[in-house]
Chains A and B, each alone.
Chain A
Amino acid sequence: MTMNEPFIHLTKVRKVYRKKDAEFVALSDVTFDVAAGEFVSLVGPSGCGKTTLLKILAGLLPHDGGEVRLGSAAHSFDPSRDIGMVFQQPLLLKWRRVMENVLLPAEILGLPLRESRERARELLSMVGLAEVSDKYPYELSGGMQQRAAIARALIHDPKLILMDEPFGALDALTREKMNLELRNIWQTSGKTIVFVTHGISEAVFLGTRVVVLTSGPARMADDIPIALPDKRTLEIKTSREFGDYNRRVYRLLGME
């Protein structure tokens, strides 16, 4: 029984922002579980509370109602060490070389430097940046910077990766490529990923599940398991199933 216990358990999660007398419901009735090693896409229009939910998961914001539980008997969870974050902007430190940027979380956590350096080297070659580990961020393209940010999120070997529209600032072609790479990274690393996006086809293509949030009022619309093949290639995007999933999400967001 304990083996089936979810890694992330959310029940009727609610978040209200208060400004003077006005109340703004950012999240309500969000209920879903994430099993260890799953890739869950959170999709919805801006203002639907996806980033808020991510921040609640990261422990950066308190929630106002419901239950948020991270970790299970089988998969312990240490909130300071088990979260890796990737944002829309790479947010690399301009004055640090790529290698030193990747090492930042390890430094903050006080992990042994030698092993961290070794691990950073492995991660950089996994994301295809082995050659540029001595370069400064400004010498890298946007896609390369975002890959470095992904390596940084993995350096302390966290169990949960939270990604907030990580490819939103990239051009369309780079974005497609990064999608394929992220699937590979997820499959080789075995991490649990919660991925926020407003790109519907991106959400379907990447996720093992897609959680749809709607705005005004902010609430959870659906939780759709994606039964596409494990090996996601670009051909999948032309398949009928892929189209059906996309249509289903579009409909939930009231766009059809």
Chain B
Amino acid sequence: MAAEKLRHYALGVLVHVVVIAIWWAFVELGHIEPYIMPSPLATLKTLGGENYRWIANATVTAGEIFGGYLLAVIVGVTLATAFSWSRPVESAVMPLLVTLNMIPKVALGPLFIVWFSYGIFPNAVIAFSISFFPILLTTARGLREVEPDLLDLVRSLRGSRWQLFTKIQLPGALPYLFSGMKVGAILAVAGAIVGEFLGSSRGLGYLMLQVQVTLDTAAMFMAVVLITLIGVFLYGLVLLLERLIVVRDARVQ
């Protein structure tokens, strides 16, 4: 079993290595101009360039992503809980949220900049606004999906609404919450970067625009790699939490 698992992971790593090797071979053997596509090594070398301020820029971008995402989880879960406790609140607020969700969040970027000026905050707000809805929707659905017979069981014991919520609804909704959080994690990364493209003075997205002017494609590649790594880290964190909290059988695949 352990050997089989090891083989499974080894295969995954191997495919990554092979793709990087193909990339390298394509660039080196095909004599591709570095401003069209840099080699993996040239990309990696940019990490030494001090002008890029990788750590500072990556920290800003990560801050926007994590901040916006955390806010999305908190607001999403809170609203979903409010909906499950009050049907009138859901009936009143939900249609509005559906309409708001139809707005392409990217289109709000210029407005956010007018309201909150340049910086981390408006970008975090875009990350929030784009990742919050799937979290709200899946959590609300999870809280709603209680077996009617289970409801009867609790009612036959004259259990309180609070007991129903804490013992049945909330733990039952966790797998749904996590599936929404996984979708949200990917969206949050995209949201923060779009925010940086629209208007920013720091961050990896901002850096990409700066180096684009000088056709420093290797640095652009590196920026994409770092953004991806931040996303992978966030996604991995969510997966790890899910693994720790949700019993295997209950996970939504």
Contact = CB atoms under 8 A, between A and B. Distances in A.
Contacts of B150: 91
Contacts of B152: 55, 58, 60, 85, 87
B159 A108 contact: yes
B168 interface: yes
A95 B158 CA distance: 22
A95 B174 contact: yes
A191 to B, nearest CB: 15
Given A60-B152, A60-B155, A89 B247 contact: no
A95 B157 contact: no
A89 B174 CA distance: 22
B249 interface: yes
Given A60-B155, A109-B157, A87 B247 contact: no
Interface string B148-160: 0110111111110
Contacts of B174: 95
B156 A107 contact: no
B248 A80 contact: no
Nearest to B171: A95
Contacts, number: 61
Contacts of B168: 93
Interface size class of A (residues with CB under 8 A): 20 to 34
Contact of A136 (B158, B167, B247): B247
Contacts of B4: none
A24 interface: no
A95 B247 CA distance: 5
A98 to B, nearest CB: 12
Contacts of A58: 152, 156
B246 interface: yes
B142 interface: no
B33 interface: no
A68 to B, nearest CB: 15
A216 to B, nearest CB: 25
A87 B154 CA distance: 13
A108 B248 contact: no
Contacts of B117: none
Interface in B177-214: none
Interface in A124-144: 136-138
A190 B149 CA distance: 25
Contacts of A65: none
B156 A137 contact: no
Interface string A82-97: 0101011101011100
A79 interface: yes
A199 interface: no
A228 interface: no
B158 A80 contact: yes
A94 B167 contact: no
A87 B149 contact: yes
A169 interface: no
B172 interface: yes
Interface string B238-253: 0000000011111000
Nearest to A164: B149
A94 B248 CA distance: 9
Across the A-B interface, the 8 shortest Cβ-Cβ residue pairs: A138-B249, A80-B158, A94-B250, A108-B159, A87-B149, A95-B247, A58-B156, A108-B157
Interface of B: 147, 149-150, 152-159, 163, 167-168, 171-172, 174, 246-250
Interface of A: 55, 58-60, 79-81, 83, 85, 87-89, 91, 93-95, 104-105, 107-109, 136-138, 156, 162, 164
